[in-house]
């Protein structure tokens, strides 16, 4: 059972969170699934029916001394169609919901284990970037590490969105890939409450 201290205007308490042991294989599975869903899959080649070539037979079937050929659109010739080339497709696939939830819990556990998880209840910011930078400095965030700020507080999101070393997401958008590609995680304390676990787990699909 992990104890996470809560800071902020309404802080001064701790949250008991049952976090699993970190399994790199599970994290890899979830990140691969996420990135596969983000692939555009727009690669496309033309088949022999789609290239701009005449369909006329190149020369007589017999008597020329050359190999037998039909039209010039076949893959054999330069400028012809492509055999078995890529076509627009979706790379997404289904990953069991329990695996997605486990992956998110492990990502949170990884940041908590390293002391890189900061739970906040009440940022008390006015939406100004200067205010967020000052708040971050007071809480050990000096810009030397990339920070993921996950909050539904509109003023805080507006204040942090122009900071180069910070990425801002709503609580519903919390996902494994973004957690792992940032060194620190700053998150609304309410999102870590046991009653909110179901809400967080849906964010893995982002």
**101 vs 2, residue with greater confidence:** 101
pLDDT for the residue 196: 52
pLDDT tens for each residue of 35-70:
999 999 999 999 999 999 998 999 999 999 999 999
DSSP code of 180?
Answer: H
pLDDT for the residue 134: 94
Q: How confident is the model at residue 81 (pLDDT cuts 50, 70, 90)?
A: very high
pLDDT for the residue 8: 86
| Domain annotation for the chain: domains and CATH numbers | 2-40+92-191 (3.40.1370.10), 45-85 (no CATH)
Q: How confident is the model at residue 1 (pLDDT cuts 50, 70, 90)?
A: confident
For the residues 91-101, what does the mean pLDDT come to? 96
d(CA 39, CA 31): 13
d(CA 50, CA 59): 22
d(CA 76, CA 166): 53
pLDDT at 199 over 50: no
For the residues 153-159, what does the mean pLDDT come to? 94
For the residues 1-20, what does the mean pLDDT come to? 85
pLDDT for the residue 73: 94
| Residue 103 near residue 173 (C-beta atoms within 8 A) | no
Asked whether the CA dihedral 23, 25, 31, 34 is positive or negative, the reply is negative
Mean pLDDT of the chain: 91
Q: How confident is the model at residue 194 (pLDDT cuts 50, 70, 90)?
A: low
pTM of the model: 0.82
């Amino acid at each position: 059972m992990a104890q996470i201290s809560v800071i902020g205007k309404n802080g001064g308490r701790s949250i008991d969170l049952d976090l699993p042991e970190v399994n790199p294989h599970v994290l890899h599975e979830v990140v691969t699934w996420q990135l596969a869903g983000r692939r555009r899959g727009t690669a496309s080649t033309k088949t022999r029916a789609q290239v701009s070539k005449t369909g006329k037979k190149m020369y007589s079937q017999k008597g020329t001394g050359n190999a037998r050929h039909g039209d010039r659109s076949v893959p054999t010739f330069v400028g012809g169609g492509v055999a078995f080339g890529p076509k627009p497709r979706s790379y997404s696939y289904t990953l069991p919901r329990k695996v997605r939830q486990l992956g998110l819990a492990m990502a949170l556990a990884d940041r908590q284990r390293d002391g890189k998880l900061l739970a906040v209840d009440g940022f008390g910011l006015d939406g100004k970037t200067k205010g967020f930078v000052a708040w971050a400095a007071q809480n050990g965030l000096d810009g030397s590490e990339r920070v993921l700020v996950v909050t539904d507080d509109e003023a805080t999101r507006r204040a942090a969105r122009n900071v180069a070393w910070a990425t801002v997401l709503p609580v519903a958008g919390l996902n494994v890939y973004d957690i792992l590609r940032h060194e620190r995680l700053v998150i609304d304390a309410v999102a870590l409450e046991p009653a909110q676990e179901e809400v967080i787990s849906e964010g893995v699909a982002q």
